[in-house]
Structure 1
């Protein structure tokens, strides 16, 4: 089967499964709604901040406060895209139709990653503009230094989260096992490691901790040895490692 046909087939699979469509919709809603809520609260409470906090206030990052929750829906999306076929047994049919496993695997990854990026791009721009509108006089502007990078970077971050989840799910194959590992890791373990002083230097190299720096414009009291693009690069290395691991295990194992 030609690569173009495989890509079309994977696109049909993604859009025809309601669970994947709903998780993308949830990503948009959660990120937008929580970002708007935090922006409105921040605007209301700005007068109560001390002088130091006002000087280091990052309105761009505030509008992206919902990304941390929205990424959980993207993790589910990435896992379902890959592991649904394993849980239903359709993987055998898919590999029989496309015996070139590399073509099958990377076509699936490419389609889902591109879709996640498009949804992420729409979400990040709408989240930013709504958040800044709710911040009123404390807002930033898209032309301010670092702001467009943060907005575009938020979309790249969301895309990479989905790609990492797909790589992990390809290695683990089971949707329950994949979600049972990824959800606690990103929602609890990573945040704890990044917050505790004894483990902070380790936590800052985890994919989400490093990658999320791309959504910041103001950096204060920061001892991280990399900038926003460096952080995204570290995250990209995690993603590449996960995708390569998934590919080699797909090549090695039976369906």
Structure 2
């Protein structure tokens, strides 16, 4: 079976599931709103202006991982959906690749709309504090941030396929993002820079001050995502739906 019709069927699933569409709306709203709010009162005058302007991405990635987890776990909520999908597409690797591609395409498109909106809102709040940002910095933040959100959605999708549960996946990832990384990450020192969410967010900084650079951080996040997808594909091939 060709890849294109399988991809189209997975895209139709996403388009017709309202909770998934609502999650994408939350991704846009939360990222833009919190970028604007954080920029109104940056707190530290020496804070990185690009990271401050796009600070809503830290919460927007929660919506991204929720989307990725739900897009996969919906297949296993009753079990019948996954069995039906695999009956229609017996090549399990092809089916999972099409599902991952559909998830990536949808999140990337939404993120490419969200990140410029968040940047505009953030820069408006910063005012003169953002004068030092170059066009190249802003483009890197927008494009890199969109790729980061896409990688986080795929990371969640791979983990959801491995665990066969959206609840279990979110129980792991949301504390990782909001508590381990966001709140307590500094206590782990340089090790925290290699966490999937923090590594990817390095691309949002005009001047990265950690172990990783903008693109190397995004590459580390990509490695985490690839590992999760491979683990999910392994379980899909080894066990029945």
Displacement after TM superposition at 1:151 (Å): 1.7
Written as runs of structure 1 = structure 2, the 5 A alignment for 1:97-176 is: 97-140=88-131, 143-176=134-167
SS in 2 for 1:88: coil
Whether the 8 Å CA contact 2:34–2:55 is kept in 1: the answer is yes
**Structure 1 stretch 102-111 or stretch 138-147: which is displaced more?**
138-147
**Match of residue 37 from structure 2:** 37
**Match of residue 213 from structure 2:** 227
Q: State the alpha-carbon separation in 2 of the partners of residues 112 and 141 from structure 1.
A: 36
Structure 1 runs of 4+ off > 3 angstroms? 140-145
Work out which of the residue numbers 84, 89, 99 in structure 2 matches 1:93: 84
**Match of residue 6 from structure 1:** 6
Displacement after TM superposition at 1:41 (Å): 2.2
Q: State the alpha-carbon separation in 2 of the partners of residues 57 and 66 from structure 1.
A: 15
Q: State the alpha-carbon separation in 2 of the partners of residues 186 and 178 from structure 1.
A: 12
When normalised by structure 2's length, the TM-score is 0.94
Number of residue-to-residue matches in the alignment? 240
Whether the 8 Å CA contact 1:83–1:169 is kept in 2: the answer is yes
When normalised by structure 1's length, the TM-score is 0.89
SS in 2 for 1:226: coil
Per-residue CA deviation, residues 36-67 of structure 1 (Å, 9 max, x unaligned), is: 1111223xx6xxxxxxx54x342211111111
Per-residue CA deviation, residues 196-250 of structure 1 (Å, 9 max, x unaligned), is: 1xx212211111111111000034xx3x332111111111100110011111110
Per-residue CA deviation, residues 91-150 of structure 1 (Å, 9 max, x unaligned), is: 011101110101100000001111111111110011101211222222247744422112
Whether the 8 Å CA contact 1:32–1:66 is kept in 2: the answer is yes
Work out which of the residue numbers 194, 206, 216 in structure 1 matches 2:185: 194
Per-residue CA deviation, residues 156-210 of structure 1 (Å, 9 max, x unaligned), is: 11111101000110100111111111111121122355211xx212211111111
Q: State the alpha-carbon separation in 2 of the partners of residues 58 and 193 from structure 1.
A: 20
Whether the 8 Å CA contact 1:57–1:218 is kept in 2: the answer is no
Q: List runs of 5+ in structure 2 lacking aligned partners.
A: none
In the alignment, is residue 74 of structure 1 matched against residue 74 of structure 2?
no
Whether the 8 Å CA contact 1:79–1:175 is kept in 2: the answer is yes
SS in 1 for 2:194: coil
Whether the 8 Å CA contact 1:194–1:201 is kept in 2: the answer is no
Q: How well do the aligned residues superpose, as a CA RMSD in angstroms?
A: 1.6
Q: State the alpha-carbon separation in 2 of the partners of residues 142 and 113 from structure 1.
A: 29
Q: List runs of 5+ in structure 1 lacking aligned partners.
A: 46-52
